[in-house]
């Protein structure tokens, strides 16, 4: 596999750091070098969260340069648009179809962009933009907190790493009493991407 630079973005409380930790462990288990780093907003819950994950035969730095992201994984739509300038030309953006208006929108000083605006912003760089109804599907599985595993399932379709390695790493990180539901979410994410030609 050639180098892959992945940026996972969203809000505090969505499980992004855990998801990016597992992604790093999966890549290590598959024999790649990995570097990652996280930046958290002012408040852990509801603040902006960004995880840089770089995978290759050898990685020298955890930070991805602007314009070099291969795969943007956004847990919230506005966060996808906010970080779109990190995408390289022809890259892929996987976006959870959830909008959580920030305080400025709630106060009426700013407008939350429409889906078309967000998609147009992403398509300035991305060759393909995939919206997934991750929040809705995670709720249908019985727990919104499984959204991060659903998004990891989407990511797994992008990387040529055996699915058993993904499931082994998830099993090692999650408690047995919540594992079944989270595995169902992971499989749901893979199913979401099954019709997309992402490689």
What's the mean per-residue pLDDT of the chain?
92
**CA gap 30, 24 in Å, rounded:** 10
**CA nearest 76: which of 42, 57, 102?**
102
Which residues lie closer than 8 Å to 179 by C-beta, 6 or more apart? 170, 171
Express each pLDDT in 114-169 by its tens digit. Answer: 989 999 999 999 999 999 999 999 999 999 999 999 999 999 999 999 999 999 99
Nearest C-alpha neighbor of 53 from the set 168, 159, 185, 195:
159
88 pLDDT above the threshold of 80: yes
Higher local confidence (pLDDT), 196 or 97? 97
Cα(115)–Cα(169) distance, rounded to whole angstroms? 34
- Name the strand (E) or helix (H) holding 35: strand 33-40
Backbone angles phi, psi at 71, to 5 degrees: -140, 120
Q: Per-residue pLDDT averaged across 21-45, rounded?
A: 88
Tell me phi and psi for residue 163, to 5 degrees.
-60, -30
| Res 198 pLDDT > 60 | no
DSSP one-letter code for 160: -
Q: Which of 105-114, 120-129, 189-198 has the lowest average pLDDT?
A: 189-198
The position carrying tokens 């962009």 is: 113
Write down the pTM of the prediction. 0.92
Tokens 């099993």, residue located:
171
The answer to whether 95 and 133 have CB atoms below 8 angstroms apart is: no
Query: pLDDT category, 199, cuts 50, 70, 90?
Result: very low
Distance of CA 134 to the CA centre of its chain: 11
Mean pLDDT, range 18-31, rounded to an integer: 97
């Amino acid at each position: 596999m050639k180098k892959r630079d992945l940026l996972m973005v969203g809000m505090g409380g969505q499980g992004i750091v855990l998801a990016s930790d597992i992604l790093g462990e999966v890549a290590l288990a598959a024999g790649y070098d990995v570097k990652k780093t996280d930046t958290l907003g002012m408040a852990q819950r509801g603040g902006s969260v960004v995880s840089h994950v770089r995978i290759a035969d050898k990685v020298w730095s955890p930070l991805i340069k602007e314009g070099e992201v291969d795969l943007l994984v956004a847990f919230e739509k506005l966060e996808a648009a906010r970080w779109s300038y990190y995408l390289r030309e022809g890259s892929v953006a996987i976006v959870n179809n959830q909008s959580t208006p920030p305080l400025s929108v709630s106060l009426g000083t700013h407008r939350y962009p429409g889906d078309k605006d967000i998609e147009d912003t992403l398509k300035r760089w991305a060759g393909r933009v995939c919206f997934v109804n991750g929040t809705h599907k995670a709720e249908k599985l019985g727990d919104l907190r499984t959204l991060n595993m659903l998004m990891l399932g989407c990511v797994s379709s992008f990387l040529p790493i055996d699915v058993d390695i993904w499931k082994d790493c998830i099993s090692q990180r999650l408690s047995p009493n919540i594992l079944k539901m989270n595995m169902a979410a992971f499989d749901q994410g893979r199913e979401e991407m099954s019709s997309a030609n992402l490689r």
